[in-house]
Structure 1
Amino acid sequence: MLCTAGVQLYAQTSVAIKDGEKWYGGAVNEAHLMPFKEGYNLDMYGDTRGNQAVPLLISTKGRFIWSEEPFKFTFEKNRLVISNAKSALTIDSAGKNLHEAFSNASKRFFPSKNKLPDTLLFSKPQYNTWIELVYNQNQKDILSYARAIIDNGFPPGVIMIDDNWADYYGRFDFRADRFSNAAAMVDTLHSLGFKVMLWISPFVSPDTEVFRELQDKKLLLLDGEVETNKEGEKVTKPAIISWWNGYSAVLDFTNPDAMQWFRGRLDHMVKTYHLDGFKFDAGDADFYPPNALSFKKATPNEHSRLWGELGLYYPLNEYRAMWKMGGEPLVQRLRDKKHNWEDLQKLIPHLTTAGLLGYQFTCPDMIGGGEYGSFIGKDKLDEQLVVRSAQCSALMPMMQFSVAPWRVLSKQNLAAVKKAVDIRAKYTPYIMQLVKTAATTGEPIARSMEYEFPNQGFTNVQGQFMLGSKYLVAPMIANGNTKTVYLPKGKWKSDLGKVVKGPTKIEVEVAADRLPVFELLNSY
């Protein structure tokens, strides 16, 4: 049986906004616009803004709004209007602040499963081959990149082989023209101390052997336009999806046989090439047309969520787009950021908002930026930006390199980046403690100031975050060396040893190799 995503619409709901109440939620990639201002609106049906999203809104007054399906929300003057809802709303007012609103929603709708992704993703830096090799993924250069990591004094961790390692999408074997012996390559990476992940997507190149096999087995999403042949029989064609690499068919994971087929191919890759896990790219809701025909009825958002279910079988996983999988042991990477200061300044609000939506195992985008288009035509990168990006990532749940710091930085700036890695190593035991706690309680690892210190006036503070409840991290994320830091109530000890009493606002001089961190000695 084939179904479209037709759904019942629920009546519009209007919620009065309380005095001083601020709201967050919806899509992670919109977090720099939070708390939401009058005039903001987003319809999450088929639109997760290229990153993670959840049908959840939470407020500084302890309220939350949840629905099992996507909805549209609009902030009007003193009112929050919910429309286009595809299922009933839950409006809960039991909490008193942002922390309690999150906790109540989490326990009820996306409780943590007491499971972790592979802990190497947190305990050591990650390295992705994308910016160095882009679409020229090949055995020789991947091994050179890995050896350069170690030769330049960086610790081995997870290494990710990015896109274009196969002859075409849907074929699960390394292309022979670039990989003479892929299994031996992976074995060598293992011997160097790395675990190896491989980029994959749900797409299948049209008019290929695999495409025809999947078409025959009825495992592809179908075009909603049904045609009739000469005999009067209904004919359905595979949906051809436009994405950043052209046009492809896409697997229909509402069909358990498609899920089984795909898992079989991944397991083949693990067995044949000794891989450790996968980077699950794409899967965005907007790659699933609302009128497409699928094995079971599903919204575009549900198709995206099903893509997330595959990662549950592989502890070494990473996603860039997700719908409603909070509390699960899935790694969520922020959307590709450009090589500029404006996008660096989005990392903290985006990452802390991911935590508010139940995505605790979150990775900032690649250090220096992962949107390769912003690197094109640049003979020389902004070295200070790369250094500050590394410092910003250093005490987030994960840090991921791609552009090779030893290639693009001066000796002095490379030393500053390596110092950021050393700083992470110092705090790693505490980070790992937070990771384990998040798996059981759902508590965010990286927290917004408003979450950790409710109602102290931090709703608009986006340039610093709390690592757990103990450390305030205030990286330099603008071009310069002076930063304003907001310290809540309590006694704070800076990374330079100075003790400061809060609440206060201080101006901090940030040397090129410094990551300002303030330890909360006691609160009162």
Structure 2
Amino acid sequence: MKIRNTLCLALVATLFSFKEPAVKNYQKLDDGVLVKLEKAASGDPQMVQLRVLADNIIQVKATPVEQFSQEPSLMVLENKNGKTDWQFQEKGKTLVLNTKDLRVEVAADNGAVTFYDRNGNVLLQENNQGREAFAPVNLGKEQSYRLQKAFNVEPNEAFYGLGQHQAGLMNYRGWQVDLTQYNSVAVVPFLVSSKNYGILWDNNSITKFGDVRPYQPLSKLKLYGKDQKPGGLTATYAFDATSGQKPIVRQETEINYEFLQDQKRFPQGYKLEGGLMTWEGFIESDATGDHRFEMPSSGYVKVWIDNKLLLDRWREAWNPGMSVFKAPLQKGQKHAFKIEWNPDGGVSYLALRYLTPQPAQDLNKIAFASEAGDRMDYYFVYGKNLDGVIGGYRQLTGAAQVMPKWAMGFWQSRERYKTQEELLGVVKEFRKRQIPLDNIVLDWSYWEEDKWGSQEFDKTRFPNAQAMIDEVHANKAQIMISTWPKFYEGIEAYKQFDQKGLLYKTSINEQIRDWIGKGYVSTFYDAFNPEGRRMFWNLINEKLYKMGIDAWWQDASEPDILSNTSIAHRKALMNPTYLGSADKYFNAYVLQHNKGIYEGQRSTNPNDRVFILTRSAFGGLQRYGAATWSGDIAATFEEMGRQIPAGLNFSLSGLPYWTTDIGGFFVENKYDRGPMTPAAQEEWRELNTRWYQYGTFTPLYRSHGQYPFREVFNIAPEDHKAYQSIVYYNKLRYRLMPYIYSLTGQVYHQHGTIMRPLVMDFGADKNVHNIGDQFMFGPSLLVNPVYVKGATKRNLYLPANTGWYNLYDGSYQKGGKQITADAPYERLPLFVKEGSILPFGPELQYTAEKPAETITLYVYGGKDASFELYEDENTNYNYEKGKFATIPITYQEASKTLTLGKRQGEFNGMLRNRTFQVVYVQPGKAKKLQFDAQPDATIAYTGSAKAVKLK
């Protein structure tokens, strides 16, 4: 009887056990789950929350205290998508959230989160071992936390995005990426994986990604002089050869001249101008494997390890750039080491630090580490492909607008047009020579020397700015103008901002002077303050927009209050912000500054599209009508090569509009110190030709830089192949305008990406995962820039599982192989993907000159193809209200049928009737790119569907 009763009780307990949850430390919410954890250490999370924002987007938050900070995100917009269907399960000590696309598990005992696809494959897994996630930090009067989160990843997984970084890396796997805003570094804390997911790290402070161990100073290695005596490298500081002074020789254990504050480290009495420094000897590590080195540098620098040249570059003395390289070292073995540095200026910068090989247990781990934040907050975004991942990012942070059509044409700029006559003369010369142009750019210092921030023209050089703007418009061009968030102490605008407490005052208190004339004291306004943003817009509206200025160039928006000062001092210079400590908000200034301009212009004039070009970026910037350029880069072939992966990773960060200074911003002495030698002049022409070729196929097509003047007619005469090549690609860009503007429409309507790393379209081909110097321009064009001086051939990879046509001659070959392509001076290798439709319009002098009444459709057979032609009203926001039209164009390989589908939508001024001239290219039937060629078919199109058979 006793046994029977026991069995009955056991049965009852079994039947009713599902009512008693195995885990009691969670709360199911309408949009997710909240888990309360037992803290083993003070830095552990106490609360972890998962929110389901969409079938493919999960937010993960954690805090070390009992309540989450309610501080709103600057990057992420409020979720207005409504509820997503999802299911919740409790499986032992694991809590499970299921959506149509994902299964997400959170461990109730430690809060670790794992993301799976619907087939049960692990996509990403939090690694909760190692360091504590939260470390308290005092920020003046504020209490905050340093944050760190690690993830387990697959051995062959590749990582991209994170903004624009110019160390030459495409795939960040195994490296550390420093997310600190800087002139030529643009931070977007959005990471994408070759496994088709992304992580938006919602933190505004300086952050590191990847291998986040701190870099070590050179002194952590065993160092020997060139005579092999231990204790340091042999450092030789040679003076200018004309000085007659003997070099200073000493043993050194560190190389650290990175910031202004470090200039005092040079030997007493040593002058950099004309000097040459070397560090020679041997280095020895206590570890075996690849050691990674990081070197910020300016001037000319070369690095050898074991007599192998690992770095050879030049960067302007006043604006150092970052380089990374690696070398295999053997534990306990001496390796020959040498650095040669010509600072090429009176003030210059150099430092070197290193990382030992990653420990074995960390090889398949990545991490984010941020300096400050009140909570840990990230978004996991999944996609069927990388377009879907980027679409998820924009769903979180805002759509990128359709840029005004003129912005997709050619922009001419230089540093700088010093007078009204210079600027107008350039516009007139373009029109006289019939070289297409849409935008002329007026760079900084159009104001009186001592009135930076006034936004007022110097009347001695710009006597009638209104007439100048009107004449630009009369010549069918737009004018963009440079404005900075900077004010000279004492000018009227400074006083107005200062009276309301809207200025950062540290630089005023320290009386820091800039480089203009005698030097003037200045500061920046606090863009985190809503009133500051309103006042800045009101200032440029009253002084400039009302005169007819079309677009805004927002320079130094990092903010660069004092170049090359230490990071600690940079934060002090913008402290405190309206929202709190600069440590917490350091990277987000650019977002708030451009927000004010965008919202200001749209409230003042809701009709015209905002266009902003800014020298920095941050998550969400794309929603403010803003594009980014790559900063004050050097005019060298090597630097041009670094632009390519920098721009591609920027595109993978979800921001579609990017550009670089064609030709490079700052030049070596051989180009601008007196007349160029014939050799230097030819090198200059070749550099610009190759850069113009590449720039034609970037989202925005723009020439800019310091002297020599950057206009094509100032680079070379008409009969020179440099001139002819530059004009050829300029005209080709305008012929491609139906294609390019359709891509611009896709950016907004389909979250499209214009400049596409190969991993986006050919990710299944593992060979493309590390390719950073080839890319797709839209869905069809494979662009292969030439960035080696004197090169007339270019090694490149044709992605697998498709065929490729040479754009110029129509010849065909299969993909999946490396080839050596012809790259004569006048041409860069361009290929068209098999199964493509390329629409070409008429020759134009500016984008709005005439509608594309006749479109030449090049159809590249071999596979099915499709393209959607997009059109709208070009410069206003009516497309947001549905005023746009699309024409679907498809080609079926099996039936050799081209179909122009029924036009969808309409808008004011829409061209209702047009002619399509069809040129059909097939494998074995090559056809040259020739706009006056005899078409294979002619279609009169009136908006109804039409189909033709092609032969």
Which TM-score bucket, shorter chain as reference? 0.7 to 0.9
**Deviation for aligned residue 1:309:** 0.8
**Aligned partner of residue 323 in structure 1, secondary structure:** coil
**Deviation for aligned residue 1:515:** 3.1
Equivalent residues of 2:186, 2:616 under 8 A apart:
yes
Letter in 2 for 1:126: W
**Aligned partner of residue 331 in structure 1, secondary structure:** strand
1:407-454 per-residue CA deviation (whole Å, 9 max, x = no partner) reads 121422211110011221222211111111011232210100112110
Q: Which residue of 2 aligns with 1:454?
A: 763
Out of 286, 302, 305, the residue aligned to residue 588 of structure 2 is 302
Q: Which residue of 2 aligns with 1:492?
A: 804
Out of 379, 384, 387, the residue aligned to residue 686 of structure 2 is 384
Q: Which residue of 2 aligns with 1:521?
A: 834
**Deviation for aligned residue 1:242:** 7.1
Within-5 A mapping of 1:62-73: 62-69=196-203, 70=205, 71-73=207-209
Distance (Å, rounded) in 2 between the aligned partners of 1:433 and 1:517: 20
Greater shift, 456-465 or 91-100, is seen at 91-100
**Deviation for aligned residue 1:315:** 1.4
Letter in 2 for 1:506: I
Out of 15, 23, 26, the residue aligned to residue 151 of structure 2 is 15
Q: Which residue of 1 aligns with 2:434?
A: 153
Distance (Å, rounded) in 2 between the aligned partners of 1:318 and 1:125: 14
Equivalent residues of 2:202, 2:378 under 8 A apart:
no
Task: Specify which structure has the bigger relative contact order, considering alpha-carbon pairs within 8 angstroms and separated by 6 or more residues.
Answer: 1
Distance (Å, rounded) in 2 between the aligned partners of 1:34 and 1:7: 37
1:453-511 per-residue CA deviation (whole Å, 9 max, x = no partner) reads 10311122122110122111123222211011211121211112101111222111112
Q: Which residue of 2 aligns with 1:90?
A: 378
Q: Which residue of 2 aligns with 1:53?
A: 187
Out of 403, 419, 444, the residue aligned to residue 138 of structure 1 is 419
1:144-181 per-residue CA deviation (whole Å, 9 max, x = no partner) reads 22222222331231111001001221112101121111
**Deviation for aligned residue 1:37:** 4.4
**Deviation for aligned residue 1:272:** 5.0
**Aligned partner of residue 620 in structure 2, secondary structure:** coil
Greater shift, 163-172 or 33-42, is seen at 33-42
1:244–1:504: structure 2 CA closer, same or farther, 3 Å change rule?
A: farther
**Deviation for aligned residue 1:99:** 4.8
1:248–1:157: structure 2 CA closer, same or farther, 3 Å change rule?
A: same
1:325 aligns with 2:620: yes
Q: Which residue of 2 aligns with 1:233?
A: none
Distance (Å, rounded) in 1 between the aligned partners of 2:646 and 2:537: 31
Q: Which residue of 1 aligns with 2:700?
A: 398
Q: Which residue of 2 aligns with 1:217?
A: 500
Within-5 A mapping of 1:313-392: 313=601, 315-328=610-623, 329-363=625-659, 365-371=660-666, 375-377=671-673, 379=676, 380=681, 382-392=684-694
1:258 aligns with 2:532: yes
Q: Which residue of 1 aligns with 2:785?
A: 475
Distance (Å, rounded) in 1 between the aligned partners of 2:523 and 2:454: 13
TM-score calculated relative to the size of structure 1: 0.88
**Deviation for aligned residue 1:58:** 1.6
Greater shift, 65-74 or 137-146, is seen at 65-74
1:152–1:222: structure 2 CA closer, same or farther, 3 Å change rule?
A: same
**Deviation for aligned residue 1:376:** 3.5
Letter in 2 for 1:445: I
More strand, by proportion: 2
1:248-268 per-residue CA deviation (whole Å, 9 max, x = no partner) reads 211112222222221111111
1:207–1:372: structure 2 CA closer, same or farther, 3 Å change rule?
A: farther
Equivalent residues of 1:111, 1:442 under 8 A apart:
no
Equivalent residues of 2:436, 2:734 under 8 A apart:
no
Letter in 1 for 2:174: E
Q: Which residue of 2 aligns with 1:202?
A: 485
Out of 775, 780, 790, the residue aligned to residue 465 of structure 1 is 775
Within-5 A mapping of 1:93-108: 94-95=382-383, 98-107=386-395
Greater shift, 153-162 or 331-340, is seen at 331-340
Out of 410, 414, 424, the residue aligned to residue 125 of structure 1 is 410
Distance (Å, rounded) in 2 between the aligned partners of 1:472 and 1:201: 37
1:463–1:78: structure 2 CA closer, same or farther, 3 Å change rule?
A: same
1:271–1:465: structure 2 CA closer, same or farther, 3 Å change rule?
A: closer
**Aligned partner of residue 9 in structure 1, secondary structure:** strand
**Aligned partner of residue 84 in structure 1, secondary structure:** strand
Greater shift, 510-519 or 412-421, is seen at 510-519
Distance (Å, rounded) in 1 between the aligned partners of 2:381 and 2:421: 58
Greater shift, 322-331 or 418-427, is seen at 322-331
**Deviation for aligned residue 1:302:** 2.5
Q: Which residue of 2 aligns with 1:110?
A: 397
1:274–1:344: structure 2 CA closer, same or farther, 3 Å change rule?
A: same
1:240–1:459: structure 2 CA closer, same or farther, 3 Å change rule?
A: farther
1:289-334 per-residue CA deviation (whole Å, 9 max, x = no partner) reads 2561233326122222111213423613211112223442212222
**Deviation for aligned residue 1:373:** 6.5
Equivalent residues of 1:27, 1:54 under 8 A apart:
yes
Q: Which residue of 2 aligns with 1:234?
A: none
Q: Which residue of 1 aligns with 2:41?
A: none
Distance (Å, rounded) in 2 between the aligned partners of 1:271 and 1:482: 48
Aligned length: 500
**Deviation for aligned residue 1:52:** 2.5
Distance (Å, rounded) in 2 between the aligned partners of 1:349 and 1:506: 20
Letter in 1 for 2:658: T
Out of 436, 439, 442, the residue aligned to residue 751 of structure 2 is 442
**Aligned partner of residue 267 in structure 1, secondary structure:** helix
Distance (Å, rounded) in 2 between the aligned partners of 1:50 and 1:240: 26
**Deviation for aligned residue 1:406:** 0.9
**Aligned partner of residue 264 in structure 1, secondary structure:** helix
Q: Which residue of 1 aligns with 2:874?
A: none
Distance (Å, rounded) in 1 between the aligned partners of 2:833 and 2:620: 32
1:188-217 per-residue CA deviation (whole Å, 9 max, x = no partner) reads 111111111111100001233332332222
Letter in 1 for 2:612: N
**Aligned partner of residue 121 in structure 1, secondary structure:** helix
Q: Which residue of 2 aligns with 1:407?
A: 714
Structure 2 residues not aligned, in runs of 5+ = 1-138, 212-357, 562-569, 602-608, 705-709, 836-862, 865-951
Out of 172, 176, 189, the residue aligned to residue 40 of structure 1 is 176
* Structure label with greater radius of gyration: 2
**Deviation for aligned residue 1:11:** 4.3
Distance (Å, rounded) in 1 between the aligned partners of 2:830 and 2:151: 39
**Deviation for aligned residue 1:35:** 0.9
